Amino acid sequence: MSMEKGQLSRARGRPGGPAPLLLQTVHEHRPEAGAVSVLKARGTVDATNAVEFSETLAEHIAHADRAGEHAVLDMTEVYLACAAAVRAVDRATGVLAFSGRALPVVQPRPHVREALRAAGLPGVRVHATMASALNSLQARRRAGPRPGGTA
């Protein structure tokens, strides 16, 4: 497993305020899923950094597509502080939803899982564990494209 980039977001944490947002991309090869690119997010997504989070997530998805990797979002340590944060996820995953795909999102905290479920985002599939997310990728990889476009 190799880490490609780890960066603090430009949003600054206020003393006693929300945790700053940290976004880190990890590229790995998993026997069950092949090449995987995991965006690990930690901290609070709020109105001050929701656009940045959305743009970073969209870039992550686009880069994974170009590299032939499966994109995954790890939200284990994220707090979505407002509706703008949920909209940020929706904006970033819109291209996937448009093509009938979804981004595996791993182990969001209960309030995050409920916010995503209530929003009904078509480009997101929530998984309780990384293993579950990788298994979904394995199933998708096995199904693969159908020859001649027939079902």
Nearest by Cα to 138 from 59, 1, 10, 29: 29
pLDDT at 69 over 60: yes
- Cβ contacts of residue 96 below 8 Å, gap of 6+? 61, 102, 103, 123
Q: Of 11 and 111, which is predicted with more confidence?
A: 111
Q: What is the pLDDT of residue 150?
A: 39
* Contact yes or no for 98/85 (Cβ under 8 A): no
Whether residue 149 lies inside any domain: the answer is no
Q: For residue 21, give the DSSP letter.
A: P
- The radius of gyration computed from the CA coordinates of the chain, to the nearest angstrom, equals 15
Domain limits for position 44: 2-11+18-142
Q: What is the pLDDT of residue 96?
A: 94
Predicted structure pTM score: 0.81
Residues 16-30: pLDDT tens digits? Answer: 667 899 999 999 998
Which region holds residue 68: left if phi is over 0, alpha if psi is between -120 and 50, else beta?
left
CATH number of the domain within which 128 lies: 3.30.750.24
How many domains are contained in the chain? 1
- Average the pLDDT over 87-103 and give the result: 95
Question: How far apart are the C-alpha atoms of 8 and 20, rounded to whole Å?
Answer: 8
Nearest by Cα to 91 from 48, 41, 54: 54
